[in-house]
Amino acid sequence: MKCNDARTFLSEISDKSITMQIPQEDLDYLSTSGYVTRTSKADYDQGAAEVANLEQMNQRLQQDRTEGAQAQKAATQDESKVHSLFFGLHGDAYKDETRQRLETDQEELSKSQAVISDDEASISNYIQKKSALDQLVPFGDEYLSLSSSGVLMLNALNARMSRISDMEFSDFVQETKATDAELQGIAQRANYYVTNIRSRISMPSLDE
């Protein structure tokens, strides 16, 4: 696979419209190298079915929040009665009934808050799944998307295409890795020298 072909294929995945056909071994290379994520049709269909319930879950969350607000209101009202200055003027039956009702209200409020928390966590999870599904594009009997490394590689290919168009993509990958390793080594050595120099410089005290 030439760099130009790799750039075209990665660009089509990014644009969510694949028309280019590539050999299976090239797709395997892009996948195992971490540039392309592959999802089976079965996994995609399962994810799509789960995400389809997102609107229903949002509606249930709104209902749970309404019920939670009612439980909060009831607990607040009964709590204010228990702590009222006039509470002690009432009979034992009234006091016991109010305290019992407050305890029940607080239990209902606690349950409601737990349900809302679970709903919000589930919805957040489904939103993440939907976002991932939206990045997938059909290709044969599976779905493809660019990984973060794939996005970076596409940017690198676009920036250097005039020079590397006919270069083997695997060679370009090795060249890029070697360049990155060299730059990282330079940065590490520079950091070592700076640290070493700073350690040799004595800082003046505040009294001087």
- Residue by residue, DSSP assigns 170-186 as HHHHHHHHHHHHHHHHH
What pLDDT shows up at residue 42? 94
Q: Rg of the Cα trace of the chain?
A: 31
pTM: 0.64
Distances (CA, A) of 199 to 74, 83, 187, 191, 205: 65, 64, 18, 12, 15
Structural contact between residues 50 and 126, judged by C-beta atoms closer than 8 angstroms = yes
d(CA 6, CA 36): 11
What pLDDT shows up at residue 173? 92
Helices (H) and strands (E) in the chain, counts: 7, 3
Structural contact between residues 35 and 146, judged by C-beta atoms closer than 8 angstroms = yes
pLDDT per residue as tens digits for the range 150-160:
999 999 999 99
Cβ atoms within 10 A of the Cβ of 164, count? 21
Structural contact between residues 33 and 197, judged by C-beta atoms closer than 8 angstroms = no
What pLDDT shows up at residue 105? 86
Q: Which residues of the chain have pLDDT under 70?
A: 182, 189-190, 192-208
Q: For the chain, give every domain's residue range.
A: 3-35+148-200, 48-134
What pLDDT shows up at residue 194? 66
Q: How far apart are the first and last CA of the chain?
A: 67
Structural contact between residues 3 and 165, judged by C-beta atoms closer than 8 angstroms = yes
